A = this chain, B = another copy of it.
Amino acid sequence: MQTVYVVSGPAGAGKSTISKALAQTLASSARIEGDVVNHMVAGGYQPPWKSERLLELTWKNIADLSRNFVRSGMDVVIDYVAFPQEIIRLKQRLREQAECKIKYIVLQVKEEELVRRDRLRPASQQMGHRSIELARQFDENGINQKFILDTTEMSEGQVDEICHEILTNDRYTIED
List, in ascending order, chain B residues with CB within 8 A of A53's CB: 72
Q: Considering the complex, give the chain B residue whose CB is closest to the CB of A73.
A: B44
Q: Is A64 an interface residue, CB under 8 A from the partner?
A: yes
Write out the residue numbers on chain B whose beta carbons fall within 8 Å of the beta carbon of A43: 23-29, 74-75
Q: Which residues of B contact A24 (CB under 8 A)?
A: 42-43
A52 to chain B, nearest CB (A): 13
Which residues from B are CB-within-8-Å of A25?
A: 43
The stretch from A30-38, A100-108, A137-145 touching chain B is A30-38
A interface residues, how many (CB within 8 angstroms): 29
Chain A contact residues: helix, strand, loop or mixed: mixed
Can you name 26 A-B residue pairings with CB atoms under 8 Å? A20-B42, A23-B42, A23-B43, A24-B42, A26-B42, A26-B43, A27-B43, A27-B44, A28-B44, A29-B41, A29-B42, A29-B43, A29-B44, A30-B40, A30-B41, A32-B40, A36-B36, A40-B69, A42-B77, A44-B74, A57-B68, A57-B69, A60-B68, A61-B65, A64-B64, A64-B65
